[in-house]
């Protein structure tokens, strides 16, 4: 009897148990995820490569404003080894065998006042038959968002973290990154990982080597940026491993966060459904609080067919908000 009473009291203290959203009442937004090849931030910002660079730099126009209708076409061209933009050469000379150009995804968002729920649905493309880069996980879904403090996140979403000198990219210095004094600390066992401009003393946009992987700011400056909220919050579903909750600042950290409650996925035939459940409050290192009345910059990516690294399909940059009709993904309270 005592045990029952204690359990009941704990439930009362914790508050009522809230049900998951009724997804049949939540509007869905259809978004194309496309294969980006080796088009990092520096490529996007150079007019000789990307004809709309001035729209991003001078007018601060979001990429989705121009490419909401042709993202699929762009992905198809890159996956087929064809040039895009002002490029004369293909954007990727190492496209995995049978790589699909794009994946259409349906996105829904809801909240209950304490937690936010994000639901993604898509049909996985036919397997390409290439190398299984991540044999442990057939599928991964990554979501990242920013509290309007990371430059270019408001225009390019994930592109704020993607650079030409990352591992697998055109200007990578994998040997240099692996041999760096902080390689182990930063997770550079295979080369430099994603980072944001705010973590570097400089960022080369032109020249033979673009990016700034080796131009790290001091530990004190990195810590200050983290406290100021200058980072991309990252959550990730993995089909056969534990979900990850981390952030991107001077490198990609796939742990430290405590706001992600769970990320669950179900596959039926070729059809995937993945649902993230996360607290609105910031629970740990690299977690952003999600508050009403604000818009957050958001992007997401799918690694299908056991892909890894840059060989993913990505979204353009979108916005996320709570009960905010101006948001691309409006999480309405239930």
- Full residue range of the structural domain in which residue 267 is found: 34-333
pLDDT at 333: 97
Task: Domain count for the chain, please give it.
Answer: 1
Is 9 a residue whose pLDDT tops 60?
no
Determine which of 79-93, 169-183, 215-229, 278-292 has the lowest per-residue pLDDT on average.
Answer: 79-93
pLDDT at 94: 93
The residues that bridge with 232 in the sheet, in sequence order, are 248
pLDDT at 131: 86
pLDDT at 159: 97
30-52 average pLDDT score: 93
pTM for the whole structure: 0.92
pLDDT at 5: 35
Is 46 a residue whose pLDDT tops 70?
yes
pLDDT at 172: 97
Q: What angle do CA 313, 315, 318 make, to 5 degrees?
A: 165
Where b means 16+ CB within 10 Å and e means fewer, 165-201 reads: bbbbbbbbbbeebeebeebeebebeebbbbbbbbbbe
Q: What angle do CA 204, 83, 156 make, to 5 degrees?
A: 50
33-54 average pLDDT score: 92
Could you tell me if residue 12 is inside a domain?
A: no
Q: Which two tokens stand for residue 210?
A: 């673009």
pLDDT at 49: 87
Residue 25's pLDDT band (cuts 50, 70, 90): very high
pLDDT at 128: 82
Tokens 């742990």 label which residue? Answer: 255
Could you tell me if residue 17 is inside a domain?
A: no
Burial (CB < 10 A; 0-12, 13-18, 19+), residue 257, is buried
Could you tell me if residue 4 is inside a domain?
A: no
Could you tell me if residue 9 is inside a domain?
A: no
- Given CA atoms 266, 270, 271, 274 in this order, what sign does their dihedral have? positive
Residue 14's pLDDT band (cuts 50, 70, 90): very low
Is 105 a residue whose pLDDT tops 80?
yes
pLDDT at 19: 64
Could you tell me if residue 171 is inside a domain?
A: yes
Could you tell me if residue 23 is inside a domain?
A: no
- 127 and 98 Cβ atoms separated by less than 8 Å: yes
168-181 average pLDDT score: 97
Is 136 a residue whose pLDDT tops 50?
yes
Could you tell me if residue 145 is inside a domain?
A: yes
Could you tell me if residue 308 is inside a domain?
A: yes
Q: What is the mean pLDDT of the chain?
A: 92
- The string of pLDDT tens digits covering residues 243-262 is 999 999 999 999 999 999 99
Determine which of 46-60, 192-206, 212-226 has the lowest per-residue pLDDT on average.
Answer: 46-60
Q: Which two tokens stand for residue 97?
A: 């065998």
């Amino acid at each position: 009897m005592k045990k029952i009473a204690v359990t009941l009291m704990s439930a009362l203290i914790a508050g009522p148990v809230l049900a998951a959203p009724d997804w049949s009442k939540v509007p869905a937004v259809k978004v194309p995820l496309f294969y980006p090849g080796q088009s990092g931030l520096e490529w996007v910002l150079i007019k000789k490569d990307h004809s709309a660079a001035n729209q991003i730099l001078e007018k601060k126009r979001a990429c989705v404003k121009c490419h909401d209708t042709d993202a699929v076409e762009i992905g198809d061209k890159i996956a087929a080894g064809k040039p895009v933009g002002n490029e004369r050469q293909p954007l990727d000379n190492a496209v995995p065998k049978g790589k699909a150009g794009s994946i259409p995804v349906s996105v829904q968002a809801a909240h209950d006042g304490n937690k936010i729920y994000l639901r993604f649905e898509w049909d996985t493309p036919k397997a390409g038959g290439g190398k299984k880069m991540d044999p442990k996980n057939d599928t991964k879904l990554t979501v990242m968002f920013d509290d309007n403090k990371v430059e270019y996140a408001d225009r390019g979403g994930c592109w704020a973290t993607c650079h030409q000198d990352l591992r697998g990219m055109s200007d990578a210095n994998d040997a240099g990154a692996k041999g760096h004094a902080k390689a182990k600390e930063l997770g550079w066992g295979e080369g430099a990982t994603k980072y944001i401009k705010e973590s570097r003393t400089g960022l080369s946009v032109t020249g033979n080597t673009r990016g700034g992987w080796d131009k790290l700011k001091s530990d004190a400056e990195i810590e200050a940026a983290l406290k100021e909220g200058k980072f991309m919050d990252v959550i990730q579903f993995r089909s056969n491993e534990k979900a990850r909750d981390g952030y991107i600042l001077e490198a990609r950290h796939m742990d430290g966060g405590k706001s992600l409650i769970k990320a669950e996925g179900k596959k039926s035939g070729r059809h995937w459904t993945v649902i993230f459940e996360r607290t609105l409050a910031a629970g740990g290192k690299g977690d952003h609080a999600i508050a009403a009345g604000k818009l957050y910059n958001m992007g997401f990516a799918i690694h299908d067919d056991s892909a890894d690294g840059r060989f993913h399909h990505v979204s353009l940059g979108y916005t996320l908000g709570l009960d905010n009709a101006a948001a691309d993904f409006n999480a309405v309270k239930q």
